[in-house]
Structure 1
Amino acid sequence: MLGQPDYNIADLFSQLGLANDEASIEKFIKEHKLDNSERLIDAKFWTDKQRAFLREEWERDAVWIEVIDELNALLHDPDIS
């Protein structure tokens, strides 16, 4: 979108209050895999605040949606280690 910020996975981790360096992101993804029936926004490892942010942005299809989709895919992909 024109004029919209272009967020990346490190930006999302920062927004969620998580360490956002490459090693920390890789570790988080490796340690927080979701099975195919579990929705990203329902994962038990989120705090209430993190879950609320993800849910709100997901439902609004807001500027964060592309990077949230990316995280969702990474946490559900069994081939990513």
Structure 2
Amino acid sequence: MNVRPRMTNLFEQLGLDSSEEAIALFIATHQLNAQTFIAEAEFWSEGQRQFLAEKIQSDGEWAIIVDQLNESLHEDSARS
């Protein structure tokens, strides 16, 4: 069975706490400036960076979730 990717699945794949509270806290505390591409953010490990870049390039269902995370991580810069 193919698991439909969700934000919780993405956080699990990245080796991060995937509870709703942890995801919200991660997003709130890891905001990026408008020029920083999600896969280039300095808080990722090399493995996490590669995973995100691959998923974005694959342009599949995972790319949609990574893009949602990207938008969430840029909320503050989008507001200003």
Same fold (TM over 0.5): yes
Q: Counterpart of 1:76?
A: 74
Question: CA separation in 2, counterparts of 1:51 and 1:39?
Answer: 11
Q: How many residues are treated as equivalent by the alignment?
A: 78
| Cα deviation code 1:19-55 (max 9, x no counterpart) | 0001100110011000101000100000000001011
Q: Percent same amino acid at aligned positions?
A: 35
Runs of 4+ in 1 over 6 A off after TM superposition: none
> Which segments of 5 or more consecutive residues in structure 1 lack a partner in the other structure?
none
Question: CA separation in 2, counterparts of 1:13 and 1:40?
Answer: 14
Q: Counterpart of 1:50?
A: 48
> Which segments of 5 or more consecutive residues in structure 2 lack a partner in the other structure?
none
Offset at residue 7 of structure 1 (A)? 1.1
Q: Counterpart of 2:22?
A: 24
**1:64 counterpart SS class:** helix
